[in-house]
Structure 1
Amino acid sequence: MKNMAHSNEVLALKNEAEGPIPTAWRETLSAIVEGFVAGDYRLERGVANVAPVSAETASHIREYFHDYGATLVALPDATWGPSVCIWYGDHWDALVDLRTQEVGHSDLVLHVRVIEAKPGFLIQIHLVYVP
């Protein structure tokens, strides 16, 4: 019998149409959000495959959460349904839907750029905002 463990794997496709967030990125994206939940907007505790977050970007993200007025929570599996990425020739842009304690699925997104690296990928955090 064939092992079907990878049958639901989502690959990083290089086409210029929106697609789902690749499986390989999800654990890292979840770790980013967990850092934000803990108030570590610069990810100083470190997250593998994530570029350093500038003080300016961290400050903008902190301010946006404060102004939004809701409590960010860790990403549930349901996050990956509405979250999307798109290839732009040398990187992917990804929008990850965020959840809050007050409303569940919010209109906030985490916007990141993902570039190919050896091995794997590198995520650069752009911003958190309401599109």
Structure 2
Amino acid sequence: MNEVAIDKDGHREMSVPEVWRPTLVAIVDALVEEREPSLPQVVVRASAAWSGMQANVREYGARLKKLPEESWESSVCIWYGYFWDVLVDLYTEEEGRSDLVLQVHIHEDDAGYRYEVVSVYVP
């Protein structure tokens, strides 16, 4: 069971809760290291999706870097009725904060949170 109640207000965006941040950082680390995430609570939406996300990063033309603490100042989430839609601002070596975002759907169940990696794109 989850010990921290996360706001389920589907009418406004909110900051990404602290409890999710370590897992989101691990997902970004996997992107930076060009490997799939290997956490049991993390799944990629479709089998080819991860390679597509890495291709989007390569096509963007800059090198991703590990997520700095300042990313949480602009990253957001919103409740969509069955899951939270999370957009994490990504950073590159060349630009700092880039136009790229990581999209993850976070689902709540009795065991905790499940993270479904959806996409990396420029909104």
Q: Does 2:113 match 1:118?
A: no
State the alpha-carbon separation in 1 of the partners of residues 72 and 28 from structure 2.
Answer: 13
> In structure 2, the residue corresponding to 1:72 is in which secondary structure?
coil
> In structure 1, the residue corresponding to 2:103 is in which secondary structure?
strand
> In structure 1, the residue corresponding to 2:48 is in which secondary structure?
helix
Preserved contact between residue 11 and residue 22 of structure 1 (Cα < 8 Å) = no
The 10-residue stretch of structure 1 (31-40 or 52-61) with the greater mean CA deviation from structure 2: 52-61
Equivalent residue pairs, number = 119
Q: Does 2:12 match 1:12?
A: no
Preserved contact between residue 28 and residue 48 of structure 1 (Cα < 8 Å) = no
Equivalent residues in 2 for 1:65-80 (5 A)?
A: 65-80=57-72
Residue in 2 that maps onto 1:49: 41
Deviation at 1:48, TM superposition (A): 4.0
TM-score, normalised via structure 2 length: 0.90
Q: Which amino acid aligns with 1:15?
A: D
> In structure 1, the residue corresponding to 2:29 is in which secondary structure?
helix
Which has the larger Rg?
Answer: 1
Give the gaps of 5 or more residues in structure 1. Answer: 1-9
Deviation at 1:54, TM superposition (A): 3.4
Tell me the percent identity: 41
> In structure 2, the residue corresponding to 1:55 is in which secondary structure?
coil
State the alpha-carbon separation in 2 of the partners of residues 52 and 39 from structure 1.
Answer: 14
User: Cα RMSD (Å) of the superposition?
Assistant: 1.5
Q: Choose between structure 1 and 2: higher strand proportion.
A: 2
Residue in 2 that maps onto 1:24: 19
Give the gaps of 5 or more residues in structure 2. Answer: none
TM-score, normalised via structure 1 length: 0.85
- The Cα offsets for residues 58-83 of structure 1, whole Å up to 9 and x where unpaired, read as 12101101100100011111010100
Q: Which amino acid aligns with 1:20?
A: S
